[in-house]
Structure 1
Amino acid sequence: MDLKLVRMELDAKPKKIDLAKIESLVEKEKSVILYFDRENSHKDLLALQDHFEAEGKSFYMNEVKYALSDNDYMYQVHIMA
């Protein structure tokens, strides 16, 4: 599963991160906050949630709006071991 991290510039393309990299971050840090781009499907983020909750980890996801437009949002994900 590949997910897109939030873009740093409005005209930039989002960088991708795979599930193995996310798992290694969680194992290393024990608590990780990641920001995902709006181009990710909500279904993929729910699959990510199911994956980590099945492993017994806490998973919190929020939609964060950073401007007035409906397209100006990102997903904030907090994973704790």
Structure 2
Amino acid sequence: MCKNRVRCKPKKADIKKIEESVEKNGSVIFYFDRENSHKDLLELQDYFEEKGKGFYMNEVKFGLSDNEYMYQVHIID
């Protein structure tokens, strides 16, 4: 997940917490920083699609540099 403070270390995606949020809200949007690999997010996609959920992922640029991006993930129940 993206860090929410400038000096914090970024957190890796936690499937159980994400799944709890999807179950509770039905439709959620998460932002993941580049510390979460594209491969890990594709595994996350496979996990939720196997459970019958809709999964949409986009790369969002927020600067001019190639490494200034994050992933937007929308999971729909």
Q: Please give the alpha-carbon distance, in whole angstroms, between the structure 1 residues aligned to 2:15 and 2:60.
A: 22
Mapping for residues 14-53 of structure 1, pairs under 5 Å = 14-53=10-49
Matches within 5 A, 1:8-19: 8-9=4-5, 11-19=7-15
SS in 2 for 1:13: coil
Q: Which amino acid aligns with 2:48?
A: F
Question: Normalization by structure 1: what TM-score?
Answer: 0.86
More strand by share: 1
Q: How many pairs align? A: 77
Which blocks of at least 5 consecutive residues in structure 1 are unaligned?
A: none
User: What is the RMSD of the two structures over their aligned residues, measured on CA atoms?
Assistant: 1.4
Gaps in structure 2 of 5+ consecutive residues: none
Task: Give the share of equivalent positions with the same residue, in percent.
Answer: 66
Residue 67 of structure 1 aligns with an amino acid whose one-letter code is G
Q: Which amino acid aligns with 1:55?
A: K
- Asked if residue 73 in structure 1 is aligned to residue 72 in structure 2, the reply is no
**TM-score if structure 2 supplies the norm length?**
0.91
